[in-house]
Structure 1
Amino acid sequence: MLIRRLAVLFVACVAASSAQAARCGGDFNSFIANVSADAQGAGISSATVSSALSGVTVDQGVLAFDRRQRYTFNKTFEQYVATRVGPGRINGARARLQRHAALLSRIEQQYGVPRQILVAIWGLESDFGTGDMGKLPVIRTLATLAHDCRRSELFQTELLAALQIVQRGDLPLRDLIGAYAGEIGQTQFLPSSYIKYGVDFDGDGRVDLRHSVADVLASTANLLHTNGFKMGQSYEEGSTNFEAMREWNRAVIYRKTIAYFADQLMGR
């Protein structure tokens, strides 16, 4: 959900380093040259910077989408949930609960986040990895938004995090594909969250939030756990766990939809 990720951008701002000093606006190529210097100053290798940023251009479609996007819900909870949680998605979620039961048990034991919450988020964000995860090159998207002066520092932070994902070997550049604000993978992490919360749960030496179900679900659990989610407690509106889900999505309607979906999976 774009709404959740854009809200999290304000959290990412806190982590921005003084190295991120490229000035927005003006000549795009000059801006990218400054970003490249900032990235290398932040420890990103020249090879990674060159491969990722060489020849990058502005994506006017991203700018147009950003300007027309509304960041608030204009539906009631009942209207919204009816469009997101139907019989097909519930049945798909129940099938995943069975298929990944052993994996979900391990994640519950390690992170203390119930499986129904994880599978609900997974279903809402990408139809369990079978739906739209975005088709845009993340580097180009973030470079475009960083150059735009509306939220330049925030998106420069995300751009450096995306470069770090490539440098760490988590995803090759060709696979760094995402949505209109640079969200990546089956539960749509911004690059800064990818770096902060990503978990190599399948043990292959990298965090792959596009292809590895184990990494996707464990990383989602890690995000919630780190922000105070507690196993065995209510996650309904007004609860501590409901507030812990603010890091996932600050919109009350969206968090209520996660809780509703999770309750449906548990027969409540």
Structure 2
Amino acid sequence: MEYALKSRNVGRASLILIIFDNFDKYLKEEVGDEHYTALSGLLEFFAESHEHPSEGVWAQYSDKQANTLFALSDQAAVKITTRLGSKGLTTPLLLWNLPRREFEGVINEVAELTGAKNFDAELLWNLLGGNVRELGDLVIRYGWDVRRWLQDRVIDHVIQVLTGAAKQEGKLPTDVLERLIELARGNAKDLGLNDTAHPDAVMGYFGLLESNVIINVRLPGTVYLSELPREPWVGRWYAYQIPAYYWVVKAIIEKGSINVGVGDVLKNN
């Protein structure tokens, strides 16, 4: 850390900003740190150092404004950050996907570049919700084949999460689904919602949060860097990472079975 600061001649700067981008992905995929042990230690180190800037690594830079930014997407990693509370002025920041108009502009640009003709911008918004990374996956890996992408990337993932939760509890998938529906209906009733698949009703039960199907959008003290859209897949407390997950969970709840297909999901779009 000290070497990095010195090698960048930060002594001449008035503001120091250190960014750890996709650090959770690096730890999980490259290091094999499934429980983010290293992340926990690093967060604690920086929180402590920012709380006492006149000591340790920041001592010779105490006359400068210093910030450290961790860009995280995995909810298991995000959950670890909540242990810090407000230590070192820790502040959760939420950066959302592109707004609808801007996203449709990107879709049109990509379609022009790739020669795509028969695409439905409204459907893509209802499935991707402004997520440019997923749009890239759809275009590059699936050649704009929405049905194949929906089956491979979304439906199969949700089914695997629920069957995995059932296996972990030593139960049948039908048992887990019955409990999920019961809990979601109860939450929807308590919150005055008429949608059992609403993210605030489902709340990430049975691994849906840990697997990033649903994400927490209201951690204590969150500062919003972008406005969340007013759509059925975004709630006050939780949101589906991409809208396609919402439509899959909705289809599963309506059918009362995890055996749903692309047609079941698209019938509401």
- TM-score relative to the length of structure 2: 0.23
Larger helix proportion of the pair: 1
Q: Which has the higher contact order (CA 8 A, sep 6+)?
A: 1
**TM-score under structure 1 normalisation?**
0.23
Normalized per residue, the structure richer in strand is: 2
Computing the radius of gyration from Cα coordinates, the structure with the larger value is 2
